[in-house]
Structure 1
Amino acid sequence: MIFERILKELSRDKRTLALVFLAPLLVLGLLYLILQSNTNLSARLGTENVSPNLMKQLKKNSKINLVAINNKRSISRNLKKYHLAALLKQKNQKLTVTYQNADTSLTAVVKENLVKSITKDQIKSIKSKINQSQQELNSVIKSLPTTEQKAIESKLGSKKNGNSLSLSEKYIYGNANSSLFTAIAPVLVGFLVFFFVFLISGVSLLQERTTGTLGRLLTSPVKRQEIIAGYVGAYGLLAILQTIVVVIYAIYVLGINSRGSIWLVMLINLLLALVALSMGLLVSTLASSEFQMIQFIPILIVPQVFFSGMFNLSDMNSFWRIFAHIFPMYYGGDALIDVIKKGAGIENIGIDLLILAAFAVILISINIIGLRRYRRV
């Protein structure tokens, strides 16, 4: 009897069935699209005064898009202006590559293909010099004494060694040993703030409804906007405290290196918390139990992980890149990466901040309108 009753209840609960059967397919599909595109990543490499021979080898790499740099701007400014993964400079036989390292996957692409190109260039140069040396030796070996032959061989050997390329590496963010945590930490901080504020605010308002507290408020003279303002204010204060604790812990305890202002990091996370708060309140009005509230997580929260900046989307299908723009974490993650990894100022992330603020305003307005369904007369 219990078995049959539970099966009947489940068959009537369309949300649970969707959670069980469709949500895993959604998550797996997104993982496939993102991870599959990451296997074909290409990186933008700036080049300045690089020898023609090495340029030819670099152009043969399909995973490197070359950008010629010919200005007096600083390396960091050129990296930002041209959206470069790295900048390669050459002075005589010394190569210096500066990695932005904001995305370690792009850094890995440049490293792998740069080493291949330099190796091929050196092998080609050595072969050329060996052939040239052999021809020179063959032409004079019969006409010169042994002592002079040795002098020529010594000269050619020193010339060959002096022409080999050397490569030094520099990093704008992090270092050569940057871990996976270092790469995703800026976005992870924002996502954790977003997720927990969403969960706490949504479940709390749901409890207010199920216990009748919200119903009593709605029958009182209190206006709907005042009710929402009260919830946003109270949980907003909690979100502010949580944001401060998380950001301070991440930067000063875990040692996440922030090249930008910590106050901007705080501001971005506060806006994310406000969006999560208003989204949690909205979802709680659509759910009738805590279980139904949790059912929204795979649909609304999990996809935001994939589009938050933890994964590189540059080689992803254009449709899915456009689809990513409907998620608040896309803009929050973009702003956090720009500030923490690239040292961006508020003028560089102004659009992201405005969009996050717009998300919050729209969701709060929908919340106010949505309370009409609970108004009792």
Structure 2
Amino acid sequence: MLSIWKRIIYQIRNDKRSLGLLLFAPLLVLTLLYFILGDSDYVPKIAVYDMDQTYIIELEQNAEVTIVDEKPDVRNYLEEAGADAFLWKDTSGLHITLLEKNSKSAAAIQAIQKTNQVFNKGQTVPDISYIYETNENNQLDSLSYVFLGVLSFFFVFILSGMSFVRERFGQTLERMLMTPISRFAVIGGYTLGYGVLSAIQSILIILFSVYVLKLQVEGSILLCILVMILMSFSAVSIGALASIFSNNELQMVQFIPIVLIPQIFYSGLIPLDTIPFGLGKLCYLIPVYYGCTSLEKIMIQGKGFLEILPWVAGSILYIAALFAINVLALKKYRRL
């Protein structure tokens, strides 16, 4: 028993990657959780129309206030001005309009409620409405774009990464690299092959979600499929990159928490503006951000292709960059 114990200890001690994962990866994840899910210093942005000046002054203690002289089209104003809420009053009382339910809209409502309490209006319930409302009886609808994007990325990443490692472990890749075939052709062939399989999976996920689970989709289902396909190619490319630096399947598994946990944080589950220390800007390095943002605009907001074009372009550029990195990384096995 003692000899086995010593062998395991020596083996782990010599495997720096496993030792780092065991000791430091949990600390890294906990630190990231602290920064992202801890107390946020986010100040909600509220636009007001036809409100008393004393009320506005008090509201400014809890929020960033913008005074609007003429009542605009509320939907366009909230989208273009970046406000979290639009507040106005009429003879029937206070009205609050928000884009959708998230932590930013909750912060805006809380700021208004605090102001109402100062003016002894705490007993008055304001009329709250959302531009993009989902089926309240089905909580999955409001976060469907998050689950679709993250789950698809997770399974594709695991499938492609493990498959690449198995190809190398069986020395199939090494034998292939002994031929005149270029690294570009190798990476292109693997990416296209697993990408097509992943694209089929993406189509099945969308069709099953819409026609079997009856998830709400305000926009085009074809656009959803396009976005899911692009996200699947991103997952294949990241799986290939991780596998190139993994000598066996265990080492590939070690990449799972490092790669997948950031995808969850930046999938739209948490509004990026509420993440402190400017960490929300890291979203541009996360492939799921582009896909989930596009899915949200299609499924929840009913946007078309032109509205999601920046995020689609971002996904394509990300795939191209990962492809180039994979080709360069393959120099580890052959310089051709």
**Number of residue pairs matched?**
334
Contact 2:47 2:86 in 1 (8 A): yes
Distance 1:11 1:95 in 2: 65
Tell me the SS of whatever aligns to 2:145.
helix
Residues 283-298 of structure 1 mapped to structure 2, 5 A cutoff: 283-298=242-257
Tell me the SS of whatever aligns to 1:95.
strand
Contact 2:149 2:267 in 1 (8 A): no
Identity score, percent: 31
1:33 positional shift: 0.5
1:272 positional shift: 1.4
Of residues 306, 329, 336, the one that matches 1:370 is: 329
* Code of the aligned partner of 1:111: I
Distance 1:120 1:255 in 2: 44
Partner of 2:43: 42
Tell me the SS of whatever aligns to 1:309.
helix
Provide closer, same or farther for how the CA distance between residues 325 and 37 of structure 1 changes in structure 2, counting only shifts above 3 A: farther
**Structure 2 residue 266 is the aligned partner of structure 1 residue 264:** no
Partner of 1:231: 190
Distance 2:212 2:115 in 1: 41
1:34 positional shift: 1.0
Instruction: Give per-residue Cα distances to partners, 1:214-244, cap 9 Å, x unaligned.
Output: 2222223433322222212221111111111
Distance 1:86 1:29 in 2: 31
Partner of 1:127: none
Distance 2:51 2:97 in 1: 14
Partner of 2:160: 201
Instruction: Give per-residue Cα distances to partners, 1:328-349, cap 9 Å, x unaligned.
Output: 2233333333333333333333
Residues 344-355 of structure 1 mapped to structure 2, 5 A cutoff: 344-355=303-314
Tell me the SS of whatever aligns to 2:127.
strand
Tell me the SS of whatever aligns to 2:314.
helix
* Code of the aligned partner of 1:90: K
Contact 1:197 1:277 in 2 (8 A): yes
Larger C-alpha radius of gyration, 1 or 2? 1
Q: After alignment, is 301-310 or 278-287 more displaced? A: 301-310
1:87 positional shift: 1.6
Partner of 2:55: 54
* Code of the aligned partner of 2:49: E
Residues 7-26 of structure 1 mapped to structure 2, 5 A cutoff: 7-26=9-28
Instruction: Give per-residue Cα distances to partners, 1:120-146, cap 9 Å, x unaligned.
Output: 43459xxxxxxxxxxxxxxxxxxxxxx
1:252 positional shift: 3.8
Provide closer, same or farther for how the CA distance between residues 267 and 254 of structure 1 changes in structure 2, counting only shifts above 3 A: same
1:114 positional shift: 2.3
Tell me the SS of whatever aligns to 1:97.
strand
* Code of the aligned partner of 1:50: M
Provide closer, same or farther for how the CA distance between residues 245 and 340 of structure 1 changes in structure 2, counting only shifts above 3 A: same
Partner of 1:104: 102
Tell me the SS of whatever aligns to 1:90.
strand
Distance 2:39 2:139 in 1: 19
Q: TM-score, normalised by structure 1?
A: 0.79
Partner of 1:313: 272
* Code of the aligned partner of 2:31: G
Tell me the SS of whatever aligns to 2:273.
coil
Distance 1:371 1:165 in 2: 66
**Structure 2 residue 209 is the aligned partner of structure 1 residue 250:** yes
Partner of 2:262: 303
Residues 91-240 of structure 1 mapped to structure 2, 5 A cutoff: 91-101=90-100, 103-122=101-120, 167-174=126-133, 177=136, 181-240=140-199
Distance 1:229 1:15 in 2: 29
Provide closer, same or farther for how the CA distance between residues 353 and 318 of structure 1 changes in structure 2, counting only shifts above 3 A: farther
Provide closer, same or farther for how the CA distance between residues 179 and 17 of structure 1 changes in structure 2, counting only shifts above 3 A: farther
Q: After alignment, is 210-219 or 313-322 more displaced? A: 313-322
Give structure 2 stretches of 5+ with no counterpart: none
Instruction: Give per-residue Cα distances to partners, 1:60-118, cap 9 Å, x unaligned.
Output: 3x2x22222345642211110112222223223433222211x4222222333323433
Instruction: Give per-residue Cα distances to partners, 1:10-66, cap 9 Å, x unaligned.
Output: 00000101110111011100111011144x443222222223343344233x2x222
